[in-house]
Amino acid sequence: MTCQNGTCVRRCKTSGNSGGPAGGRACGANGAGPAVVSVVVPVLAGQGMAGRLAEHLQVVSGGVPFEMIIADGDPQQPLPQPDCLCGAAVLHMHAPIGRARQMNAAAACARGRVLLFLHADTRLPHNAFAHMLDALSRVQAGAFSLGIDGGGLFFRLTERVADARNRLTRTPYGDQAQFFCTAYFRQLGGYADIPLMEDVDIMRRIRRRGDPIEIVKSRVATSARRWHKEGLLYCSARNVCLRALYALGVSPHSLSRWYRAHRG
């Protein structure tokens, strides 16, 4: 670990899951260690985004100590030099490409008692950490409600449909910023090593255990870029097809090939 201007930047080459103690209780109320929350951000050639994201996390943390772990799937991407990132500990690391692999590799390096998995184009709501820790005082896994950073009736309707789906299935997706007690996540074995639907898979496994999943009412703001780029109806219809095919038993590897072929 090196430090500059009060900011710590760790370098880690670890990949894969870490064992860790198995957790049998909620983790939101008490715990030891300087970082309460480890924010995991999987990226591909994501150099230059750490400063903006750290500023955002500092605002929504409400003073809760956190670290940010950026797992880059591009092995050719140079790891940034230490910067002053709002006083937060930051770990830049290379990880095997693939969102599940990158998130698992980062989780293996995490020191916080809570893991928050955040897409680079998603922003958290006001007082996000407080809402998350409150939820984790009752359960061991959850996510925020879906919000889309775009105007118009279509996006508001998409949010309401997601709310109904969450109430019915208790399967929040990755763009809703899934969070876990760290020990519980490791007990689950982390995300499955699959190229697609790792977010759905882990929530299904939690439900099969009979464990509760809490959806925080506050909304994230996920980027509307892919809808605007690919077309509102096309992007939504393709995503619905992918999830329906997965529910019918089509393998994530087949879905990944289909997704790449039909990506706008």
CA distances in angstroms from 120 to 40, 60, 140, 221, listed in the order given: 10, 15, 23, 11
Q: Yes or no: say if 236 and 178 are a contact pair by the CB < 8 Å rule.
A: no
Q: Yes or no: say if 47 and 78 are a contact pair by the CB < 8 Å rule.
A: yes
Give, for all 264 residues of the chain, the pLDDT tens digit. 443 333 344 554 443 443 333 344 567 644 444 679 999 999 987 667 788 899 999 999 999 999 999 999 988 877 765 454 656 788 888 899 999 999 999 999 999 999 999 999 999 999 999 999 999 999 999 999 999 999 999 999 999 999 999 999 999 999 999 999 999 999 999 999 999 999 999 999 999 999 999 999 999 999 999 999 999 999 999 999 999 999 999 999 999 998 887 675
Cα separation, 57 vs 75, whole angstroms: 26
Helix axes 50-61, 128-135, angle to 10 degrees: 60
Of 180, 174, 150, 148, the residue nearest 161 (C-alpha): 148
pLDDT at res. 5: 35
In three-state secondary structure terms, 1 is coil
Give domain limits for the chain.
2-223, 226-264
pLDDT at res. 258: 85
For the 2-223 domain, the top CATH level (class) is alpha beta
Backbone torsions φ then ψ of 98, nearest 5 degrees: 125, 125
Model pTM?
A: 0.87
